[in-house]
């Protein structure tokens, strides 16, 4: 007879129970597909799209143009908080707030890896990593929004183009020099502390999906005055990005997007 450590059967039973619970969720049970609505950009919905893909949940990826969002019969008028993304489950329930979506999807992952139910220590690590990504997003926000809404940062709303460009350049270069390296170190530390593969351990979780687009943004040439080689000084971060991109479900998702 094969002897097993006492925890082995317990872990297997927990995984089986999690899979059964997940399958009874309105993410899986019911007619049709779940629906994710957002604009035709990556934005804050990209991490949710990736979570759905990694949890093997088929979904309708609804891309709304700005005219549809702001029009007379706009979707915005029926959105509970007047914002996107909106995740609609198979039973018609609408879920708002991208972090809530991520945790709900991850907690219903049939493999129990994205946001493991019943493993509070693992979830703590995931939440810490997601907090770092939220801090990075918040730190860059003024330098991002200055070009669109200068008045929100105390600048004249009608700031002339030359002055606005100079302010944007100064703010973004200062951010890249003073703030960006700190956050890359934070991510490196997370990788080192958790085994070097993913941000919270050996398995990919919603923390990695949350951070992927946020970190890659700085190398995609999307924002003026942010060099596309910004990540080259951080080989551990580049390696982590490639591991996430090579993860089968993530790779499949982006291959389908390219079609």
Note down pLDDT in tens along the chain; length 259 residues: 334 444 444 444 444 544 444 567 889 888 889 999 999 999 999 999 999 999 999 999 999 998 889 888 889 999 999 999 999 999 999 999 999 999 999 999 999 999 999 999 999 999 999 999 999 999 999 999 988 888 888 888 888 999 999 999 999 999 999 999 999 999 999 999 999 899 999 999 999 999 999 999 999 999 999 999 999 999 999 999 999 999 999 999 999 998 8
Q: Which two tokens stand for residue 253?
A: 């998702």
- Per-residue confidence (pLDDT) for residue 19, from 0 to 100: 47
pLDDT of residue 3: 41
pTM of the model: 0.88
- How far is 122 from 94, CA to CA, in rounded Å? 27
CA–CA separation, 167 and 106 (whole Å): 40
Identify which of 210, 176, 204 has the alpha carbon closest to the alpha carbon of residue 191. 204
In this predicted structure, what is the pLDDT of residue 152?
86
Task: Give the residue among 102, 150, 96, 152 at the shortest CA–CA distance from 129.
Answer: 102
116 vs 123: CA distance, rounded Å: 7
Distance CA 187, CA 204 (A): 14
């Amino acid at each position: 007879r094969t002897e097993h450590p006492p925890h082995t059967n317990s872990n297997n039973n927990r995984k089986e129970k999690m899979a059964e619970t997940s399958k009874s969720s309105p993410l899986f049970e019911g007619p049709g597909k779940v629906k994710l609505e957002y604009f035709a950009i990556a934005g804050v919905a990209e991490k949710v799209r990736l979570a759905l893909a990694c949890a093997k949940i088929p979904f309708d990826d609804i891309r709304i143009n700005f005219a549809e969002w702001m029009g007379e019969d706009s979707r915005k008028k029926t959105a509970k908080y007047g914002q996107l993304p909106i995740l609609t489950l198979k039973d018609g329930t609408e879920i708002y707030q991208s972090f809530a979506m991520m945790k709900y999807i991850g907690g219903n992952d049939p493999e129990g890896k994205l946001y493991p139910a019943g493993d509070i220590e693992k979830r703590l690590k995931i939440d810490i990593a997601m907090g770092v990504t939220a801090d990075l997003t918040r730190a860059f926000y003024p330098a991002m929004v200055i070009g669109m809404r200068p008045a929100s940062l105390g600048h004249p709303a009608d700031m002339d183009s030359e002055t606005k460009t100079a302010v944007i350049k100064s703010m973004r270069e200062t951010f890249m020099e003073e703030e960006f390296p700190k956050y890359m170190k934070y991510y490196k530390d997370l990788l080192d502390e958790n085994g070097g593969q993913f941000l919270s351990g050996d398995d990919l979780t919603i923390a990695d999906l949350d951070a992927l687009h946020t970190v890659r943004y700085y190398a995609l040439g999307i924002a003026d005055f942010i060099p596309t080689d910004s990540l080259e000084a951080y080989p551990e971060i580049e390696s982590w990005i490639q591991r996430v991109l090579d993860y089968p479900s993530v790779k499949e998702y982006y291959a389908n997007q390219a079609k």
